[in-house]
Amino acid sequence: MKCVLCLVALFAFFSNAVIADDTTAKLILIKEVLNDIITEGNDLSVQYSLFNIGDGPATDVELADSDFHESEFELVSGMTSVKWERIGANSNVSHVVVVKPLKASAFNSTSAVVQYVASEGAEPTFGFSDELGELSIISATEYKRLHASHVWEWFLFSVFCIPSLLLPYLLHFTSKSKYNALSAKKKH
């Protein structure tokens, strides 16, 4: 009986030890565009969020996104290649890159890549973010046409309408008032 109990205790100790050594990290990378409308010449914000859903820490984490070529985008802030030494288990980090599109066209957004070491001594693991697909970058002219408030333009238009609307009406009204007054005077 004592031997059985000792064996059971030893087994439990070693199994826990084995489980404690067998912790691995598992990273999920989410890439999202923060803008509702992407316009040529205006800032485009892209957020990368890394979630470690594994039991262990992820080390030597490297994030890279090759979508934003210099010929098509100007980097405003942030980096397209980022490194973290360690992302703990059940924790997350995020990074925002701000770029400025230089051309108005359809833009095909591919996945960002993350490389990390899931457990001590393991080979690097690669992961990919979601693909955003084709994004439409509208020109500044189109943006102004669709989304600007145009308050000043409507105000100036109403001023320009004065000779066409207000002046003829005032002339007619002045004459009408004059002869109505004369007519009323005659009746009395």
Chain residues in the site for other proteins (CB under 8 A): 141-142, 144-146, 150, 153, 156-157, 160-161, 163-165, 168-169, 171-172, 175-176, 178-183, 185-187
Name, in order, each residue with C-beta under 8 angstroms of 2's C-beta and a sequence gap of 6 or more.
none
- Contact (CB, 8 A) for 179 and 173: no
Least separation in angstroms between CB 36 and other proteins: 17
Report the alpha-carbon distance of residue 109 to residue 126 in Å, rounded. Answer: 19
CB-wise, 55 or 142, nearer to other proteins? 142
CB-wise, 6 or 182, nearer to other proteins? 182
CB-wise, 81 or 105, nearer to other proteins? 105
Least separation in angstroms between CB 125 and other proteins: 47
Nearest Cα residue to 109 out of 81, 128, 82, 83? 128
Nearest Cα residue to 73 out of 101, 94, 96, 53? 101
CA angle (104, 72, 147) in 5-degree steps:
30
Neighbours of 32 (CB within 10 A): 13
CB-wise, 2 or 185, nearer to other proteins? 185
Least separation in angstroms between CB 126 and other proteins: 44
CB-wise, 8 or 171, nearer to other proteins? 171
Least separation in angstroms between CB 72 and other proteins: 23
Least separation in angstroms between CB 55 and other proteins: 53
